[in-house]
């Protein structure tokens, strides 16, 4: 009699165990997928916020110098040679642009290219507990200040 009663409950117990484990596995997969998409979205938001802040600063400087009608610096572009994480690349770009934000809106003739290159050349920057050395390759000063920067990880 015990055999019959234990077999009678075996099927519902197996079905409930399978249902529970399927629900648990599905919840884990959904959490992993949402986490990945959330990370991508946060990276995108970070880069867009940096772009908006840069454009706001550029607009404010241009509004100040709109009446001068001289050849003025309108924006800063940074070309990084860096093979690291996209978040770190965005942080480095933001750091370098913040160092040159004071030049936006100034007359191009008054900007010394050698002095501008020295601002970030051979500078060590700490991002996410890692040190990076910035080396300026070349710099072009026109209505756009374009800087080529090589980034190397400093060994600990």
Residues 6+ apart with CB under 8 A from 78: 93, 96, 97, 146, 147, 149
What's the domain range around 69? Answer: 32-153
Task: Say if 80 falls within a structural domain.
Answer: yes
Q: What is the mean pLDDT of the chain?
A: 86
Task: Say if 69 falls within a structural domain.
Answer: yes
**Where residue 69 falls among pLDDT bands split at 50, 70, 90?**
low
Residue 2 has pLDDT above 60, yes or no: no
Residue 1 has pLDDT above 50, yes or no: no
Largest separation between any pair of C-alpha atoms in the chain: 101
Task: Say if 8 falls within a structural domain.
Answer: no
Please count the structural domains in the chain. Answer: 1
Average pLDDT value for residue range 98-102: 89
pLDDT of the residue at 66:
65
Task: Say if 26 falls within a structural domain.
Answer: no
Q: How far apart are CA 24 and CA 21, in angstroms?
A: 5
Question: Could you tell me the pTM of the whole model?
Answer: 0.62
Task: Say if 12 falls within a structural domain.
Answer: no
Residues 6+ apart with CB under 8 A from 68: 107
Classify 147 as helix, strand or coil. Answer: strand
């Amino acid at each position: 009699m015990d055999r019959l009663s234990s077999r009678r409950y075996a099927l519902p117990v197996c079905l409930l165990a399978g249902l529970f484990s399927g629900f648990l596995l599905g919840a884990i997969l959904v959490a992993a997928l949402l986490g990945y998409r959330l990370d991508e979205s946060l990276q995108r938001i970070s880069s867009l916020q940096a772009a908006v802040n840069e454009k706001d600063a550029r607009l404010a400087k241009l509004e100040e110098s709109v009446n001068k009608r001289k050849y003025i610096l309108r924006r800063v572009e940074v070309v990084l040679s860096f093979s690291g994480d996209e978040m770190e690349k965005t942080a480095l770009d933001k750091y370098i642009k913040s160092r040159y934000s004071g030049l936006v809106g100034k007359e191009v003739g008054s900007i010394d290219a050698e002095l501008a290159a020295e601002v970030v050349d051979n500078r060590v920057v700490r991002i996410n507990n890692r040190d990076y050395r910035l080396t300026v390759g070349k710099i072009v000063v026109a209505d756009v200040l374009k800087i080529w920067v090589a980034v190397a990880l400093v060994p600990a």
